[in-house]
Structure formats: structure tokens, C-alpha cells
Amino acid sequence: MIGGLAGFQNNSSDWGEKLLNRVATNTLRHLFSKCEDLQVEVHCHPSSKLLQGSIDSFNMSGKGLVIRKVFRTEQMWFETDAVNIDFSSALKGSLSLKQPTQAIAQVTLLEEDVNTAFTAQLVRKHLENITDSNLTKLSDGEPVSFTEINLTLLPQNQIQLDANANLGSQGKIPVSFTCTLGLQRRRRLLFQDIQFQRNNVPAEFHETSEQLTQVLGDILNNMVDLDHFNLDGVKMRINRLQTQGKTLVFSGYAQINHVPRTG
């Protein structure tokens, strides 16, 4: 009889964990425009806590996750603290938290994915038709747009960025600089110690290109703020970033107030 009860508890635990894994996977998949692979694993001991909605932690690992149709991550991983969920909601096919929780997280971006992100409208609107006086004085008063941006990842958290500045009737001027990536308040990406790369720009454009470089650096420093990219109910913060070959790796945490409903 005791063996039978133990077997029932184990089967209940297996059934409960499988149910939560399936519900959590389906819920998280809907946050992304595209998903190459997504794995969710629930941890709960003893298993009896599961039926009360108490979970020790659960982790997610994903590959090729695309946010808002254009922001692709090569890999994304997170693991939560203890989680209290409404188990009855899981029985209905949804996931609902009883209280906020935190998760440690790591996101890996490919160099090509970063460059694709520069084509997104959310990013382009900061780089096109700019009427800042520091730019229009170079373009006879016409709005200026930065186009054909190409970012190259370098060792020790450095990057090289090349672009063209469209000065309207004045034509296009190439822009090139290197800098070091940094963080401000764990949410804003900074482009620090910008160094104009004159060897990448024809000599006749040096003076104008160097001025454009500083303005573009200022624009970028005011553009990449995680609060603009947070999922519904989730606040993300970065503790560390690192360039590793052709990948950019962010490590940090997320404050999860409720399970996101939209991506």
C-alpha cells in the first residue's frame, strides 16, 4: 500500500511537471515572433509542493528567438528564484504568478543580428531625418540621416562602426569610429571613448566626418535603453557585457511582475 501511494505521488509529480513545462513553453513561445528552439524545465522538491503552486525554480533556454519580428537573439537563458503560481490557471492552459519573482539571465547576440537590428523601425527613427543643429549646419539646413550602418565586434568589449551620413544635396559622407561598450545604471548601453578612424575615410572628408562621428556617438548613447525593449511585466537589467569573437553576451537579471502577455 505504501509503495502504491509513493507511486501515485511520483506519477502526480511527473504529470504536474509535464503540465507546467508544456504550459510554460507554450506561453513563452507566444512572446517571440520566431523561435528555433525553446526548452523549459521545472524544479520542485518535494513534489507535493507542486500541487500548491510552489516551485523551487524553473529555467528556460532558447535559440533563435526573435522579438518584434526583427530583434533576433542567438541564445537566451534564464533561471528564476522560487516561484508561486496559480496552479488552477495551469490546468486551464495559462501561467499566472501569485507574486513577483526574479531571474538571472544571459542573452547572446550574433554580430549579424546586431546589424540587422539597425534596420528596425524602432532604431531607424532615431537615425533618420535628424534636425539637430550640429548636423544641419553641415547639410545647408537639410535633415540628416545615418544609413548603411555596419558594426564589427572587436576584443575587450570594443567595436568598430562604419556608416554613411546622408547630407541631402551635399551627398553622402562616410563615418568610421571605434569605441568601447559600457553600461549606465545597468540599463543603458554606452559607446565610450569614441575614436575617429581617419584611415577609413577619404582625406577630403576628414573634417566633416569627424564632426559627424561625435554626433552619431551622442545619438547612439541616448538610444539603446533596455526600458524601450522590456517585455510586458518584465524589467531587465544588465550586470555585465562581453564581446566574445563574433558574439556579444549580456548577463544580468529580470524582475518579473507577471507573466508577459505580449512580446
* 179/52 same-domain check: no
Q: Is residue 209 part of a domain?
A: yes
pTM for the full model?
Answer: 0.87
Domain count, the chain: 2
- Residue by residue, pLDDT tens for the chain (263 residues) are 333 334 434 454 577 778 888 888 888 888 888 999 999 888 888 877 888 889 999 899 999 999 888 899 999 999 998 999 988 888 888 888 898 999 999 999 999 999 999 999 989 999 999 999 999 999 999 999 999 999 999 999 999 999 999 999 889 999 999 999 999 999 999 999 999 999 999 999 999 999 999 999 999 999 988 776 667 788 889 999 999 999 999 999 988 888 876 55
Residue length of the chain: 263
Measured distance CA(131)–CA(127) in Å, rounded: 10
- Residue of 254, 245, 263, 226 lying closest to 108 (CA atoms): 245
* 10/50 same-domain check: yes
* 12/76 same-domain check: yes
Cβ atoms of 6 and 37 closer than 8 Å: no
* 189/237 same-domain check: no
* 237/195 same-domain check: no
Q: Is residue 194 part of a domain?
A: yes
Q: Is residue 205 part of a domain?
A: yes
Show the domain range for 62: 2-114+226-256
